[in-house]
Amino acid sequence: MSWPLSWSATCAIAVTDLRRLLAALAALGLLAGCTAGDGPNAGPSVAPSSAPATEAPATEAPASQTPSAQAPATEREPESGGGSEPSGDASEQAARQEGQDLATIAVGLQEVVSLDQPTAMAVRRGDETLFIAERTGRVVAVRDGSVAEQAVLDLSEQTVAESERGLLGIAFSPDGRTLYASYTNLDGDTRLDAYDFADATADPSSRRELLAVDQPFANHNGGNVAIGPDDLLYLGLGDGGSAGDPHGHGQDPGTLLGSLLRIDPGSGDPYAIPEDNPFLDRAGAQPEIYAYGLRNPWRFSFDRDTGDLWIADVGQGAREEIDYAPSGQGARANYGWNLREGAISYSGEPPADNVEPVFDYGRDGGRCSVTGGYVYRGAAVPGLRGAYLYSDYCDGVIRALRLDGREVEQSVSLDIAAPAVVSFGQDNDGELYVLSLEGPVYRLVPG
Ligand SMILES: [Ca+2]
Ligand SMILES: [Ca+2]
């Protein structure tokens, strides 16, 4: 069923479901900015009932999340620049398409399947199956719009989907013979496991624990795992939680928290540290760290064509940010938290090695928590090629931006939305999927 929402339809859904969404947000609370004592304007309908008293302070929503009948403030966000002309050497249609005005592109969302709180999607090279993680612990296989009866992996006895916890990330090794699963265990601590994968299933008895990281609070667990263009494994970890980074983990490379890690699970036991990891020469720093200064890099991805790194880092109470590093240039980046929140000050002067986001936005229009996606490289919507797609958990609007270097060339809403957009997926053809924590998984299609 195609779902090319008009704005009025989007708003109707948003208003009708807002109370439920906010309740889900508080109880499930994948939303960092929304979960931890950020401001004085607590929304009574989103008070948490599930968070243990020892965890984060009472959940609240920024005032902008208060249910209202107000429509999202903007339809098309203003263009920040014009489309560039294709270069003179007539480098063909692809180049022209990549310069297409994003505001002219019509897309829709087509529901593929509905699952139990889908949080992450992965594919194996040469395999058309979509592997999707459910927050409650299962990894399921989706083929031709149907869910295979037998789960690929079932961690539902090893994790609990509460607060921001659960099964949070999956990825396959480059050879497709290992499935990596990132989750919080029964104590709420981060685990990254590897499982042998064959005959469409992961062997639970083959479990190898790659990483075990204690989590001081229930929120900001990060948990996204992906294989980079260097075939190494990247894992994002939040600052550990609560609010404001009370332990200063973001700026401390002595802890794995608040960082993007890079390891080589294909060597060593249980893994090797890549020789060019950036902190090998720094006393007291954790050698797994690739970049730091992150608050909750809930979703990050690599451009499958260029290898560029995109990190969507969830903000505290003011700014949601998107960070970017050209291929091979992201090592040792300090993304600024908790001295910086987005492109503004949070608790001090910028660190000497600060890397500002390429894009950030505020909480207007009910937005609350950035959900990072992918650079579109599919064929279904050629005009989107080269644009980075992302959303926000609270308004679910799918947006696109295109960079020229580190400058935002264009930033638009694609005028489609889904409830509780928590993640994106990308298949082997570069087509994009949108995962709603309420269940549906959608495919991005021409509008
Ligand atoms: Ca945590
Ligand atoms: Ca930052």
Write out pLDDT tens, residues 223-253: 999 999 999 999 999 999 999 999 999 999 9
Residue stretches of the chain with pLDDT short of 70: 1-99
Between the CA of 100 and the centroid of ligand 1 the distance, in Å, is 41
What letter represents residue 264's amino acid?
D
Between the CA of 219 and the centroid of ligand 1 the distance, in Å, is 4
Between the CA of 323 and the centroid of ligand 2 the distance, in Å, is 7
Between the CA of 285 and the centroid of ligand 2 the distance, in Å, is 20
Which numbered ligand comes closest to the C-alpha of 256?
1
Q: 7-446: what fold?
A: Neuraminidase (2.120.10)
Between the CA of 90 and the centroid of ligand 1 the distance, in Å, is 50
Cα–Cα distance, 292 to 302 (Å, whole number): 17
Contact 189, 212 (CB under 8 A): yes
Q: Each residue of 8-51: pLDDT tens digit?
A: 233 333 333 344 444 444 434 444 443 333 332 322 222 233 33
For the chain, what are the domain ranges? 7-446
pTM (predicted TM-score): 0.82
Long-range contacts, 138-147 (Cβ 8 Å, 24+): 138/167, 139/167, 139/170, 139/179, 139/181, 139/202, 140/115, 141/200, 142/112, 142/113, 142/441, 145/112, 145/113, 146/113, 147/113, 147/115
Nearest Cα to Cα of residue 326 among 268, 375, 263? 375
Which numbered ligand comes closest to the C-alpha of 30?
1
pLDDT number for residue 98: 61
Between the CA of 89 and the centroid of ligand 2 the distance, in Å, is 38
Between the CA of 149 and the centroid of ligand 2 the distance, in Å, is 42
pLDDT number for residue 93: 53
Between the CA of 2 and the centroid of ligand 1 the distance, in Å, is 37
Between the CA of 301 and the centroid of ligand 1 the distance, in Å, is 21
pLDDT number for residue 100: 84
Nearest Cα to Cα of residue 156 among 186, 192, 129, 127? 186
Which numbered ligand comes closest to the C-alpha of 36?
1
